[in-house]
Amino acid sequence: MFGLDTKDTRLLLIVAALALLAPFLLNPFPDGSAMAQFNAGYPDLMQRFVIFGIFAIGFNILFGLTGYLSFGHAAFLGVGSYSAVWMFKLLGYNVLPGIVLSVIVSGLFAVVIGYISLRRSGIYFSILTLAFAQMSYNLAYSVLGNPSSNFNLTNGETGLQVYTSDPQLLQTAGAPDLPNLFGVTMRSSVQLDIGPWLFTFNAGYYLCAVIMLISFYVSVRIFRSPFGMMLRAVKSNQQRMHYTGLNTRPYTLAAFVISGMYAGLAGGLLSTMDPLAGAERMQWTASGEVVLMTILGGAGTLIGPVLGAGFIKYFENIFSKINEGVLHGWFGFLPDGMENAAVWVVEHFVGPGWHLTLGLLFMLVVTFLPGGLVEGGQRLLRLFSNRRERNKAAKSATQSKPAE
Amino acid sequence: FTNEPTGSTVTLGFNVPQTGPYADEGADELRAYELAVEHLNGGGDGGMMNTFSSKSLKGNGILGKKVEYVTGDTQTKSDAARASAKSMIEKDGAVMITGGSSSGVAVAVQGLCQEAGVIFMAGLTHSNDTTGKDRKANGFRHFFNAYMSGAALAPVLQNLYGSERRAYHLTADYNWGWTQQESIQAATEALGWQTVNNVLTPLAQTDFSSYIAPVINSGADVLVLNHYGGNMVNSLTNAVQFGLREKQVNGTDFEIVVPLYSELMAKGAGQNIKGIVGSQNWDWKLQDEGTKAFVQSFGQKYGFPPSQAAQTCYAQTLLYADAVERAGSFNPCAVGAALEGFEFDGLGNGPTLYRAEDHQCFKDVLVVRGAENPQDEFHLVEIVEVTPVGQVTYPHDHPMFAGGDLGKCNPGV
Amino acid sequence: MGILEVKNVNKRFGGLQALGDVNLSVAERTVHAIIGPNGAGKSTLLNCLVGKLIPDTGSVMFDGQSVLGRAPYEINQMGISRVFQTPEIFGDLTVMENMMIPCFAKRDGAFELNALSAVRGQKDIIERAEHMLVDMNMIDKRDMHAAAMSRGDKRRLEIGMCLSQEPRLLLLDEPTAGMARADTNNTIDLLKQIRDERDITIAIIEHDMHVVFSLADRITVLAQGTPLVEDTPEKIKGHPKVREAYLGENA
Amino acid sequence: MNVTPDFNKSANKASTAPAFLSVWDIHAYYGESYIVQGVNFNVHEGEILALLGRNGAGKTSTLRALARLGDPEIKHGEIWLDHQPLHNMASHEAAAAGLALVPEDRRIIPGLTVEENLQLAQIAPPIGWSLERVYDLFPRLGERRKQEGVTLSGGEQQMLSIARALCRDIKLLLLDEPYEGLAPVIVDEIEKTLITIKELGITTVIVEQNAVRALNLADRSVILDTGSVVFDGTAAEVLDNAELRAEYLAI
Amino acid sequence: MDAIILQILNGLDKGSAYALIALGLTLIFGTLGVVNFAHGALFMIGAFCAVSMQRLLQLSFETIDETQKDFLGNPLKVKTPYVESWFGPEVGATIIDWSVPLAIVLAIPVMLVIGYVMERGLIKHFYKRPHADQILVTFGLAIVLQEIIKHYYGANPIPTGAPAAFRGSFDFGVLLGFDPNVIIYPYWRMVYFAFAAVIVSAVFAFLQFTTFGMVVRAGMADRETVGMLGINIDRRFTIMFGLAAAVAGLAGVMYAPINSPNYHMGMDFLVLSFVVVVVGGMGSLPGAVLAGFLLGILEAFASMNEVKSILPGIDQIIIYLVAILILLTRPRGLMGRKGVMED
Ligand SMILES: Nc1ncnc2c1ncn2[C@@H]1O[C@H](COP(=O)(O)OP(=O)(O)OP(=O)(O)O)[C@@H](O)[C@H]1O
Ligand SMILES: Nc1ncnc2c1ncn2[C@@H]1O[C@H](COP(=O)(O)OP(=O)(O)OP(=O)(O)O)[C@@H](O)[C@H]1O
Ligand SMILES: CC(C)C[C@H](N)C(=O)O
Ligand SMILES: [Mg+2]
Ligand SMILES: [Mg+2]
């Protein structure tokens, strides 16, 4: 289906099902229960899952396939965000022009940066991209963002936002004063009450989810295309490619630009969900984050980057919010002394300590699952299927011994 | 309206930096919030609820609903802060968001609360923009701002150092730095000081030596450090290393001024801060009843005195609760109306006005100085003068605050 | 006038004159062997032909066009393919994919953004690659990781990859080194076959005299960077200088 | 051919003299793939053993297992060299115990000069030939001592790799295709060197595609096919047994 | 003229910090081939060794002074450091004053142990893994180390002064014939520069005049072969790692008086030091040091007002800009070796 083989089609359908049912799947615990803290099925976080999923999928096209490790992809995310907000400022709150422009502008930006950076490979390439992104960040944070200067492109630390004095040329009188798609605001939600559960279906989320599915689909197509194969060949042996009559530069540049456009798209979507673009989006830590997402999930795999993005965002948003009060709630059933002890121990890993947990998990995952979360999943699957097979194979086992 | 509390409880969202360079400020803010919640729910000794001029709070929660809270990490990044605030609103049903310790974050979160239809009670934010260019109907600021720092400091500086001074500014190159510098330059120039130079320094800078060195031969005799947090600790340390404090220019002693002060910064700067003048929103050594009550209950609970960050956040929480009580509703528009133009006393800052036009609090501003011989680690800062509120008040359409528009209060869905 | 004309090529590495005034003319549709002691400059000469090295002086013409100053991929697209002395293959890819890549390069040229069509759908390429694998006697290794093959197999794969491009000039740097006798013989047969069936010119470097003498139409002996003699195999076999400097007693 | 595990390590089918190197039923894996599938053989002190077989038969894998390199991993079996249990050692310990491997891809260390490559072999004891002695044997290396090792010609690299093994004081030399890529005269040279080495009493295992040459040199021979031993006997037996040669060596 | 001399001095000083960090980093990164994102954390831990030494020396017992009150109105507890009661107030105070130099004694074993544990426990599994995995694991480690430090020492900077003897500044200008007080330079920064010079030459000497360096270089290029030659490369890698950790730690200890240590100071330096190492060229120690000084001096010049007024914001991007220019004109940085981390 869709020009994919059955395995990929199945993967795509699973991802689609997960994305569309996310409001249910991410809210497994009834409201008000102690575990409700772990629910992730609210619009903002779900949006982040899919948007950063897009970012990571795009990054993976470059890194996973060609092995070129860009340390400056956040620059494209930022450029995309700024472009979208500028569209809101100039044209109005319909999200379409913003999304389109963010992809175009980040693509152009990627052409320039990629053209220069791809002259080098390995760590030298990484540092070149890093340098470009850091320059963009520093300039966006200060020189290009001074509200009192005539040239205020980014609005500095505060972040670029829409002011009532902005032109908004296409904003019609009745249209909502919030990002919307032909009148449906990104913020609008439908809620469904089932017993103690409350499920929220948010317009913005579904827009992002659909775009994510399209992005994912495109990435599967790229992975399975001759182009994708060429990119893997670049990673494997550039020398051989040259002597096989292939010019690697346009291949890597195309991959770079495509992944830059994915990043720009993600940035644009971030702005449509929340119309403010901050400079930190371009900082090296943000570039590092997408690297971590991709590796954590499994670089070079189709679904890995999305998993990695979800994993990191989940920690950032859920674990950081568990505070002492919540912990006392959980351990309230214990006798006082033990309650305090338990709270004291766990406290180090949640709330302000969520970074610690994240750091430890990075170390554990990469040490024990070299292929990232995807490998973890595969091992689990293999464990189950092995058990089944072992039962089947038990009888014939004697024959399969190496015989000379 | 958004997140109308229907059950027996009401949820507030405390959005503070738990990681990053302001994590200590964030931790202190959180302590204050927890204390405030305890007091609102009738626990503890009641703290400033006893000294607060408005007597609507009864220690039975807010409008009879028990106060619960959720916390989040802003990481001092506008993005993360907004994400965290959004999740509090969308997931936890918070009806008010408060906290933060940077202007960028405050402006970003304030904008979000405006769109989402909840009240935002800003924590630490000192930029003029928060209640100037970026003011919002749903947002309120108790903390003072850069203009007020300038206005409070200038006369003291004139007293201490005369009106013939030539100032050299180092300014953190971001929004807060710019407004701070603009304010202090205007205030000092009005007294006859000259501004020799203003040099912008990158926010990420850690070693300021190459910015300090040119000061030596610039002919300036005052160095103004428009820096905050780690920036300020480092630039001040560097300035002292380069011997600026022992320096004499044209027969007068060279002086350093740090317009925005905090206890935590003073601690970070150590020896170097001694005798250096700056301004603060509040200090635990003030002798009014509100302060004493607050220091007592905070000190009992945590074992050390509260910072100005703690006081601001505590006051914001009480102010919000009180406004709800007086309005009789959690509706942001009703709460906003109750806060607008509200005059009160007993929260540690003397008589205070929440101005209707821009939602900025007007109250006395402290001019402080690094203590020469601190008796212990809590006495690093001493109060030089309490600048009366009249001297720091400005019209709401003052040019430094122009271009803003509160808009209409938004109660959300 | 040969299809390949090398004139007065010089190449120095620091103090070492790796190639000194090399002149070589390879006639179209012949097999030309280059032999010579280790370090004579044979591989260096090939490097100059495919753009890996640029000679200090001299000219290299292929089919009337200069190759100097062109990037390796352009030279390949002109019709020159090369097998390396140490196997250069795509280790992370499967054997089949290794074989498909040159087929794509042949069909689509140096770059083609073929990003949305599935590899599966490229019937012509698949057919070609499979055909080539059958020819190379490695169709059973179709889905193996290329890096996991034994070295002899890697070399055979690389030859197959070059052949699948149907080059007009094929440069082979010790193609059968490390190859088992049986496969060496197969390779000789294969090369003979393509020499006879296709419009191809082959330049081969080999230390295995069995291979050289079974295939070559002409032989150039290189020593210390300069051609010593160029002649037919029979003459070379008997050449006293060559025997002394290169072949030794057993040849 | 079925070789039963031989618990008496000094016993040997070919002779009754005690074995110096005893390889007993080793099974080795690259990750999941099972490659060396039960290899047994013994070598006597001072003997040369020719280990033969097709491409991919598992010769290199066997040598690598003996040298205790990480890949392939031995999951079963024992290796004894002069009463020392190699199977319990890491590769550097095996080297200290007197084993040296000349690997098939030569493994000249990039970034190091020729001389540094040799010096590297003389850091950990036991140390063998002096650099002068090595340069005497391979004058080409002496001339190029300051050149970066990896820029040597293929044949020169092969010399360097053998020379590096000689820089160590060894009891057992494992050669993986030492003649590959060498000019015939040099092959003669190296053959002479191997005879010298044999005279020094060093035990040698040689893997070579040029089976006839190797068998002429060797005392005994073991033939591998798909990871297990299919023949174990004297070199003469192989040379005489046309059927065996045809089936496994294609000669 | 005086301004330029001053900026050169500043640049040298910044440069020595960059050079020292880059030196340690390049030992691991350019020599062992491990992208160590935790290197900044090692620097930070070094600085906190200075803080800990200071705290250790200031360990005090409490006596109650009824005459004074604390902030809650209770009698004040007065703290007296043990060293002052043991050695008398004056000697005690001097010892406390010298805590930063004394911390070197603490830092060397601490850093060696940390380096050892880190390498044996974690890094050794990653030599053969892709750089991306190394980044992930060392980044994770850096976060963990930071969080631990933050947990014990808080997030705000902790002042850690140099000994009083070094606290002033030196009048360079007089030496060069300028008016007094025109070119002055802090003593401690001169100490730092000298210290950096000593460490850099010591490390060079160690790697240059022993075969150790060659072995480690060879080991990075091809571990297997080096092992095959009887060399226990693991042990040498461990030593190398410990050495690099110690260099980073010492750089941190001595840096403490220049900028008060805080838990994220390592991350602040990390990115820049990676840039420095790469601009210097992978695998080249002299390159790293040279690039450190070059970028330090350029940064100092770019922050001069004269320059900034022509190119606003240049000081924020100068390092990156120069890095790009250098990498585009010299493919392997200033002195990089071929083939090191190029793929
Ligand atoms: N990049 C280089 N730098 C320095 N010297 C080099 C370089 N490449 C090759 N050489 C030297 O040039 C000479 C010729 O090398 P080349 O590889 O062409 O020899 P060859 O004839 O192919 O030998 P073989 O048959 O052994 O492969 C050798 O002595 C070699 O050491
Ligand atoms: N790293 C590896 N991972 C998986 N399989 C491998 C690996 N290396 C070799 N093999 C497989 O092991 C088998 C034996 O390989 P080996 O290199 O030992 O053969 P060989 O006898 O030395 O062949 P040749 O004569 O071609 O060198 C081959 O089928 C090869 O594909
Ligand atoms: C923490 C604040 C009081 C200062 C901060 N830099 C700001 O932007 O306002
Ligand atoms: Mg060659
Ligand atoms: Mg082999």
Q: How many CB atoms lie within 10 A of CB B219?
A: 13
Q: Which ligand is nearest to the CA of D152?
A: 1
Out of B34, B82, B182, whose CB is closest to A276?
A: B82
Percent of chain E at pLDDT exceeding 90: 38
SS (H, E, C) C148-194: HCCHHHHHHHHHHHHHHCCCCEEEEECCCCCCCHHHHHHHHHHHHHH
Instruction: Give tens-digit pLDDT for D131-155.
Output: 999 898 888 899 999 999 988 888 8
D53 lines ligand 2 (CB under 6 A): yes
Tokens of residue E108, six digits: 């060397």
Put simply, the chain D residues between 29 and 48 with a CB less than 8 A from any chain C CB are 30, 33
Across the interface, do B134 and A158 touch by the CB < 8 Å criterion?
yes
Angle between helices A95-117 and A74-90 (to 10 degrees): 150
Listed in sequence order, the DSSP H helices in chain E are 2-26, 39-57, 82-87, 89-97, 99-121, 131-153, 172-175, 187-209, 212-221, 223-228, 233-255, 265-280, 285-302, 305-310, 314-329
Length of chain B: 413
The D-side interface with A (CB below 8 A) comprises: 1-3, 27, 34, 37-38, 227-230
Domains by residue range for chain C, with CATH: 1-79+167-250 (3.40.50.300), 92-164 (no CATH)
Q: Which residues of E267-279 are buried (b: 16+ CB within 10 A; e: fewer)?
A: bbbbbbbbbbbbb
| Closest listed residue to residue B266, CA positions, set B24, B30, B20, B16 | B24
Tokens of residue C198, six digits: 């296709």
| Closest listed residue to residue B203, CA positions, set E266, A149, E315 | E315
- Is the per-residue pLDDT at E235 higher than 80? yes
E141 touches chain B (CB under 8 A): no
Residue type, A71: F
Length of chain E: 343
Q: Which residues, in sequence order, are CB contacts of E130 under 8 Å at separation 6+?
A: none
Expressed in angstroms and rounded, the spacing between residue D151 Cα and the centre of ligand 1 is: 6
Substitution candidate for ligand 1 out of C34, C43, C171 with most atoms within 8 A of CB: C43
Using the atom order of ligand 2, give the atom closest to the CA of residue C152. 26
Rounded to the nearest integer, the mean pLDDT of chain A is 88
Query: What residue segments make up the domains of chain D, in order of their start?
Result: 19-98+208-251
Tokens of residue E152, six digits: 């014990």
SS (H, E, C) chain D: CCCCCCCCCCCCCCCCCCCCEEEEEEEEEECCEEEEEEEEEEECCCCEEEEECCCCCCHHHHHHHHCCCCCCEEEEEEEEECCEEHHHCCHHHHHHCCEEEECCCCCCCCCCEHHHHHHHCCCCCCECCCHHHHHHHCHHHHHCCCCEHHHCCHHHHHHHHHHHHHCECCCEEEEECCCCCCCHHHHHHHHHHHHHHHHCCCEEEEECCCHHHHHHHCCEEEEEECCEEEEEEEHHHHHHCHHHHHHHHCC
Domains by residue range for chain A, with CATH: 6-284 (1.10.3470)
Name the closest-CA residue to atom 4, ligand 2.
C148
DSSP-derived 3-state class of residue E275: helix
User: Distance (Å, rounded) from C-alpha C47 to C-alpha D69?
Assistant: 33
User: Distance (Å, rounded) from C-alpha E14 to C-alpha C160?
Assistant: 57
Using the atom order of ligand 1, give the atom closest to the CA of residue C53. 1
User: Distance (Å, rounded) from C-alpha C115 to C-alpha B395?
Assistant: 62
Tokens of residue B139, six digits: 């947002």
Q: B267 to chain E: which residues are within 8 Å by CB?
A: 156, 159
User: Distance (Å, rounded) from C-alpha E230 to C-alpha D126?
Assistant: 8
Listed in sequence order, the DSSP H helices in B196-307 are 209-216, 230-241, 263-269, 289-302
Across the interface, do C90 and A233 touch by the CB < 8 Å criterion?
yes
Chains with ≥3 CB–CB distances under 8 Å to E:
A, B, D
Tokens of residue B123, six digits: 């924590």
Rounded average pLDDT over C198-208: 90
Helix (H) or strand (E) holding A136: helix A122-141
Rounded to the nearest integer, the mean pLDDT of chain E is 88
Specify which residues D173 forms β-bridges with: D100, D204
Q: Checking DSSP bridges between strand A180-181 and strand A184-185, what pairing results, if any?
A: antiparallel
Pocket of ligand 1 (CB under 6 A): C 13, 16, 18, 36, 38-44, 85; D 144, 147, 151-156, 181
D55 lines ligand 2 (CB under 6 A): yes
pLDDT at A1: 59
Tokens of residue A53, six digits: 């999923």
State which residue of chain A sits closest to E308, comparing Cα positions: A143
Q: Which residues, in sequence order, are CB contacts of B34 under 8 Å at separation 6+?
A: A325, B69
Out of B241, B271, B375, whose CB is closest to E169?
A: B241
Longest dimension (CA), chain E: 76
Rounded average pLDDT over C97-116: 91
What is each CA distance from B82 to A223, B22, B95, B108, C94, in whole angstroms? 35, 17, 15, 7, 47
Contact D74, D110 (CB under 8 A): no
Interface A:E, ≥3 CB–CB pairs < 8 Å: yes
Rounded average pLDDT over A189-206: 88
A9-18, B97-106, B136-145: range with lowest mean pLDDT: B97-106
Q: Which ligand is nearest to the CA of D151?
A: 1
Q: Answer positive or negative: Cα dihedral of E114, E116, E117, E119.
A: positive
- Is the per-residue pLDDT at D8 higher than 60? no
Tokens of residue D48, six digits: 């040369």
Across the interface, do B107 and A187 touch by the CB < 8 Å criterion?
no
User: Distance (Å, rounded) from C-alpha A157 to C-alpha A169?
Assistant: 26
Instruction: Give tens-digit pLDDT for B15-42.
Output: 999 888 788 889 999 999 999 999 999 9
Put simply, the chain A residues between 193 and 232 with a CB less than 8 A from any chain C CB are 218, 221-222, 224-230, 232
Q: Which residues, in sequence order, are CB contacts of E329 under 8 Å at separation 6+?
A: none
Degrees (nearest 5) of the Cα angle A44, A48, A54? 150
Instruction: Give tens-digit pLDDT for E50-99.
Output: 999 999 998 888 888 888 888 777 888 888 888 888 888 888 889 989 99
State which residue of chain A sits closest to C103, comparing Cα positions: A244
pLDDT at E29: 76
DSSP letter at B120? E
Interface mutation vs chain E, best among D68, D69, D89, D92, most E CBs within 10 Å: D92
Residue type, E168: G
- Is the per-residue pLDDT at D19 higher than 80? no
Instruction: Give tens-digit pLDDT for A303-316.
Output: 999 999 999 999 88
Interface C:A, ≥3 CB–CB pairs < 8 Å: yes
Confidence of residue D56 (pLDDT cuts 50, 70, 90): confident
Confidence of residue A391 (pLDDT cuts 50, 70, 90): low
- Is the per-residue pLDDT at C171 higher than 80? yes
What is each CA distance from B324 to B110, B131, B313, B327, B408, in whole angstroms? 19, 22, 17, 5, 19
Percent of chain A at pLDDT exceeding 70: 95
Residue type, E222: D
A366 touches chain E (CB under 8 A): yes
Interface D:B, ≥3 CB–CB pairs < 8 Å: no
Q: Is residue E71 part of a domain?
A: yes
C149 lines ligand 2 (CB under 6 A): yes
User: Distance (Å, rounded) from C-alpha A199 to C-alpha A24?
Assistant: 6
Instruction: Give tens-digit pLDDT for B236-284.
Output: 999 998 888 888 888 889 999 999 999 888 988 888 999 999 999 999 9
pLDDT at D9: 38
B21 touches chain E (CB under 8 A): yes
Q: Which residues, in sequence order, are CB contacts of B363 under 8 Å at separation 6+?
A: B144, B349, B350, B351, B352, B353, B389
Q: Is residue E139 part of a domain?
A: yes
- Is the per-residue pLDDT at A245 higher than 90? yes
Out of B72, B77, B175, whose CB is closest to A158?
A: B175
State which residue of chain A sits closest to B134, comparing Cα positions: A163
Name the closest-CA residue to atom 13, ligand 2.
D56
Residue for token pair 């390049």: E26
- Is the per-residue pLDDT at D5 higher than 60? no
DSSP-derived 3-state class of residue B355: coil
What is each CA distance from E40 to A55, B392, E296, in whole angstroms? 27, 44, 18
Degrees (nearest 5) of the Cα angle E103, E106, E111? 115
Percent of chain B at pLDDT exceeding 70: 100
Angle between helices A284-297 and E131-153 (to 10 degrees): 120
Tokens of residue B400, six digits: 């430094």
What is each CA distance from E213 to D145, E337, E341, in whole angstroms? 19, 15, 18
pTM for the structure as a whole: 0.91
Helix (H) or strand (E) holding C50: helix C42-50
Specify which residues D225 forms β-bridges with: D228
Contact A339, A91 (CB under 8 A): no
Q: Answer positive or negative: Cα dihedral of D211, D212, D214, D219.
A: positive
Provide the domain count of chain E: 1
D235 lines ligand 2 (CB under 6 A): no
User: Distance (Å, rounded) from C-alpha B82 to C-alpha B86?
Assistant: 6
- Is the per-residue pLDDT at B223 higher than 90? yes
- Is the per-residue pLDDT at A397 higher than 70? no
User: Distance (Å, rounded) from C-alpha E219 to C-alpha E217?
Assistant: 5
Range of the domain at E303: 2-329
User: Distance (Å, rounded) from C-alpha E79 to C-alpha E63?
Assistant: 6
A289-293, C106-110, D192-196: range with lowest mean pLDDT: D192-196
Q: Is residue E337 part of a domain?
A: no
Instruction: Give tens-digit pLDDT for A351-373.
Output: 888 889 889 988 998 899 888 89
The E-side interface with A (CB below 8 A) comprises: 35, 122, 125, 129, 131-133, 135-137, 139-144, 146-148, 151, 271, 274-275, 278-279, 282, 312-313, 316-317, 320-321, 323-324, 327-328, 331-333, 341-343
* Residue A367: HSE in the Cβ half-sphere, 13 Å Cα cutoff: 16
Pocket of ligand 3 (CB under 6 A): B 101-103, 124-127, 176, 228
SS (H, E, C) E144-198: HHHHHHHHHHCCCCCCCCCCHHHCCEEEHHHHCCCCCCCCEEEHHHHHHHHHHHH
User: Distance (Å, rounded) from C-alpha B21 to C-alpha B30?
Assistant: 16
- Is the per-residue pLDDT at D11 higher than 50? no
DSSP letter at A280? G
Rounded to the nearest integer, the mean pLDDT of chain D is 85
Tokens of residue D217, six digits: 């040199």
Helix (H) or strand (E) holding A133: helix A122-141
DSSP-derived 3-state class of residue B383: strand
A139 touches chain B (CB under 8 A): no
User: Distance (Å, rounded) from C-alpha C99 to C-alpha C165?
Assistant: 10
For the domain with range D19-98+208-251, which CATH number is right: 3.30.420.480, 3.40.50.300, 1.10.630.10, 3.40.50.2000?
Answer: 3.40.50.300
